[in-house]
Chain A
Amino acid sequence: MDRYFGRFGGMYAPETLMPALLEIEEEFCKLVKDENFLSEYEYYLKNYVGRPSPLYFAKNLSNHLGVRIYLKREDLNHTGAHKINNCIGQALLAKHMGKKRLIAETGAGQHGVATATVAALFGMECEIFMGEEDAKRQFHNVQRMKMLGSTVRVVSKGSKTLKDAINEAMRDWSETFEYTFYLFGTAAGPHPFPTIVKYFQSVIGKETKEQIKRLEGRLPDYIFACVGGGSNAIGIFSAFLEDHEVKLIGVEGAGEGIHTGKTAATLCSGSVGILHGTKTYILQDEEGQIQNTHSISAGLDYPGVGPEHAYLKETGRVEYVGATDKEAVAAFLLLTRLEGIIPALESSHALAEVIKRAKMGLFKTSDIVVVNLSGRGDKDINTVLELWKDDEL
């Protein structure tokens, strides 16, 4: 299995962890060729997650913006986001490898909830690492994980967000990998995680392709997805990478703006470096120290990004842009009002870019736009309420 995407990727891991990573790589390679494993995975996707998720034509939003907009409804998955696709797959892998305990990092809490869920489903011990800041922002998700029987380890080191949760999970894993599987939540981290996560999320793209062909008789003109670590984005992009007529746009959390220093837009304002096991774009200072990030959305608040996205940026296949906190909140409210769908703040960033382009007149009326609605926004109500009170929107 190739460790690299162009010059990005790799296995920059402490030697202690190498046997664990190599073992996962080996087992994964075997399992993806195993009919039993694949049919078990598909069984759970269909009957537990609720796939295929609909590709919904957002009529009101389309009328409002003057372009045909479809929403890939990952928000309708069990637990409320795309994260569960990956969790089912990796948990089955872990089970197959005989591991008794799952650990995971989480920012928004969605990946933590999804991991806690599959741990409950498969009867595994589970511990979730979460930055103190994020645990505060996502109080309800913390409670959900606990109810599901997981331990939540609140990390009060560093910036107290996702990157520190990853650091701590890696440290735990390097002591416990004999019985613990690190269920990595996004298409970043050391090889083989970017490839594994892409594999389990590629179902989003495959379904979308089939659905849009059925509904419109052709491929879409644009696909928009938000990019934190990049798992929902690579999941939906993966089926279209060779279809060059489809424009792919990844939207990062720009926070207060790409050039303000208060941002999480790694591909837009970062530079190449090595973080959490992979060579990719990262937000760093001139000395190579990792910078603190800012995004209203905890799920996008990460100073790195999956290595394949770095490659897709460099080759120009995907265009990466940033949406600000403000734009995301406006998009959140607009979709809620017009369609009765409350989107996750993460997904709202992808929507925000569509709104921006529509308002600038950048679409033709005949254009078909697909937005990956990676999750639902129940978890974000409190965050939005803080801004909404004194806002006339």
Chain B
Amino acid sequence: MNLIDERFEKLKKEGKKAFIGYVTFGYPSFEETLGFIELVYSYVDILEIGFPFSDPIADGEIIQVASRKALNEGVKLNHLFESIEKFKKDKPVVLMLYANTVYKRGIDKFFESCKVCGIDGVIIPDVSFEESFEFKEVAEKFGIVYIDLVSISSLERAKMIAKQSKGFLYCVSRKGVTGFKGQIDDRIFTFLRELKTITSTPLAVGFGIKSKEDVEKFKDLADGIVIGSAIITKIDEGKDKLEDFLKEISESLKDK
């Protein structure tokens, strides 16, 4: 069994929800990034590392800026692979990156490197379900979990995707890009309820979640919460603030 499934099973037994935390590799600088990543890794159940892309169409302002800065730091895919080997322990690590980065490296070579350095899952936000199969086949060959996204913009499609999803199903809680704009769309709650009836794959909710209050709203319906832009914002405020935030979120996910 892969680490992602193991982790969700363990949490389920304990009656807890997964804290999935996102950091952009290379942010805020080449020197500091590993320190921040390790700090986040120590608090979360699953670490999601974003590898920066020059044209991140699925991302909002905060992650765009972080990605640009990271690229200016000169980070390369091999740096990421080498870094993961350094800190990887028994918690799963999931890599989020754009299709062209995978494609340019060569799909086979890419997933092989993931396997070697200990990446457990991969999320490619600009690959639709329809185009995912050339990636999924190779991911499976190397034992990497390919994580699908579903969006509240179509429950019908979400059901189709949910039926064969692996690892966890990344439920995009709002229309649009990462980051937070306005209120959480109430439709997400019915959406999650519906999905629960057709899949046993854990559901993780992301895009736009920024606080303990937001997290509380999903605790009963989702199996995990993804926080990205809010963590990047806390990184800007320094290690102490980030640590306070991570503590607060993880505690609110642990208590029943």
Which A residues are within 8 Å of any B CB, using their own CB? Answer: 3, 10-20, 157-158, 163-164, 167, 170-171, 174-178, 271-277, 279, 282, 284, 286-290
The reply to whether A288 and B100 form a contact with Cβ atoms under 8 Å apart is yes
The reply to whether A273 and B104 form a contact with Cβ atoms under 8 Å apart is yes
Give the one of A14, A163, A282 with max B CB within 10 A.
Answer: A14
Cα of A175 to Cα of B176 in the assembled complex, Å: 4
The reply to whether B54 and A158 form a contact with Cβ atoms under 8 Å apart is yes
Closest A residue to B65 by CB, please name it: A157
Q: Is B77 at the interface (CB under 8 A from chain A)?
A: yes
Given contacts A18-B151, A175-B177, A289-B101, 7 further A-B contacts (CB under 8 A): A13-B128, A15-B148, A18-B153, A19-B154, A271-B104, A289-B54, A290-B54
The reply to whether B129 and A18 form a contact with Cβ atoms under 8 Å apart is yes
Residues on B with C-beta less than 8 A from A174 are 58, 175-177
CB distance from B151 to the nearest CB of A (A): 4
Closest A residue to B56 by CB, please name it: A167
Q: Which of B126, B130, B172, B176 contacts A274 (CB 8 A)?
A: B126
Residues on B with C-beta less than 8 A from A177 are 153, 175
As a 0/1 sequence over residues 149 to 178 of chain B, the CB contacts with chain A under 8 angstroms (1 = contact) are: 111011001000100000000001001110
Cα of A20 to Cα of B175 in the assembled complex, Å: 12
Residues on B with C-beta less than 8 A from A284 are 100, 104
Q: Which of A18, A178, A271, A276 contacts B128 (CB 8 A)?
A: A18
Residues on A with C-beta less than 8 A from B254 are none
Give the one of A3, A174, A282 with max B CB within 10 A.
Answer: A174
Q: Is B193 at the interface (CB under 8 A from chain A)?
A: no
CB distance from A126 to the nearest CB of B (A): 20
Closest B residue to A282 by CB, please name it: B100
CB distance from A52 to the nearest CB of B (A): 38
Cα of A15 to Cα of B149 in the assembled complex, Å: 7
Sample (8) of A-B pairs whose CB atoms are under 8 Å apart = A14-B57, A14-B149, A15-B151, A15-B157, A19-B154, A167-B56, A171-B177, A287-B104
Residues on A with C-beta less than 8 A from B151 are 14-16, 18
As a 0/1 sequence over residues 45 to 82 of chain B, the CB contacts with chain A under 8 angstroms (1 = contact) are: 00000000111111010001000100100001100000
Closest A residue to B97 by CB, please name it: A288
Residues on A with C-beta less than 8 A from B150 are 15
Q: Is B103 at the interface (CB under 8 A from chain A)?
A: yes
The reply to whether B130 and A16 form a contact with Cβ atoms under 8 Å apart is no
Cα of A163 to Cα of B58 in the assembled complex, Å: 14
Cα of A18 to Cα of B181 in the assembled complex, Å: 21
Interface residues of B in 88-139 (CB under 8 A from A): 98-105, 125-131
The reply to whether B55 and A274 form a contact with Cβ atoms under 8 Å apart is no
CB distance from B52 to the nearest CB of A (A): 8
Q: Which of B57, B76, B128, B130 contacts A170 (CB 8 A)?
A: B57
Residues on A with C-beta less than 8 A from B76 are 287
Known: A13-B128, A15-B129, A18-B129. A288 touches B105 (CB 8 A): yes
The reply to whether A14 and B154 form a contact with Cβ atoms under 8 Å apart is no
The reply to whether A163 and B104 form a contact with Cβ atoms under 8 Å apart is no
The reply to whether A287 and B77 form a contact with Cβ atoms under 8 Å apart is yes
Q: Which of A10, A16, A167 contacts B175 (CB 8 A)?
A: A16
Q: Which of A12, A16, A175 contacts B127 (CB 8 A)?
A: A12
Cα of A222 to Cα of B114 in the assembled complex, Å: 49
Q: Which 8 A-B pairs have the closest CB atoms?
A: A288-B104, A175-B176, A19-B154, A16-B151, A274-B99, A14-B58, A289-B54, A288-B100
CB distance from B179 to the nearest CB of A (A): 10
Cα of A276 to Cα of B100 in the assembled complex, Å: 10
Residues on B with C-beta less than 8 A from A289 are 53-54, 71, 101
Cα of A158 to Cα of B61 in the assembled complex, Å: 12
The reply to whether A15 and B104 form a contact with Cβ atoms under 8 Å apart is no
The reply to whether A19 and B131 form a contact with Cβ atoms under 8 Å apart is no
The reply to whether B130 and A11 form a contact with Cβ atoms under 8 Å apart is yes
Residues on A with C-beta less than 8 A from B55 are 158, 163-164, 167, 275-276, 290
